[in-house]
A = this chain, B = another copy of it.
């Protein structure tokens, strides 16, 4: 066996433990604390398995979608979580994340570094059925969390329904059915006062 190769893989596995300490703006559904990127990635990877029947493109590879979701936030170990409604942070997000990808994926043996980097770029580019469906889930999940916590994160950041709808609109391409469900959640959230007009 190739011990240096295994050592590189183990170093990567150790490095990515840091994802458990990158906290998002979203609260757990019990509202007690914010969610971290590792938990979030687990949740949406499982959602991909569970909701695959609703993907627009019926021939997509669900395993590739799951792999993508498992690694999609790794760059945040260096780049931090960028709140989707924070215009200032969004500006240099791409640059910060590119540097992070360069460092983190290159901890792996060359073939795996390339495979993970390609997977991450595919997600960012949003051109394939897998990446589009992955994004649908990445956007739907925090909607559910916000709804269950009566809009806790929305209220903290004074987010309006217009902004939430713009973001949720990204669900549409990957899954029109989940997009329909998201719209219902948002309109109900406004009705219940979880989200301001």
Give chain A's interface residues, CB within 8 Å of chain B: 1, 6, 9-10, 12-14, 16-21, 28-30, 32, 35-36, 38-39, 41-43, 45-47, 49-51, 54, 62-63, 66-67, 70-71, 108, 112, 141, 144-145, 148, 177, 180-181
Contacts and interface: CB of A to CB of B under 8 A. Distances in A.
Contacts of A177: 1, 6
Contact of A20 (B13, B39, B50): B39
A66 B10 CA distance: 18
Contacts of A51: 9
Specify the main secondary structure of chain A where it touches its partner: helix
A85 to B, nearest CB: 22
A182 to B, nearest CB: 11
A35 B20 contact: yes
A67 to B, nearest CB: 6
Nearest to A108: B50
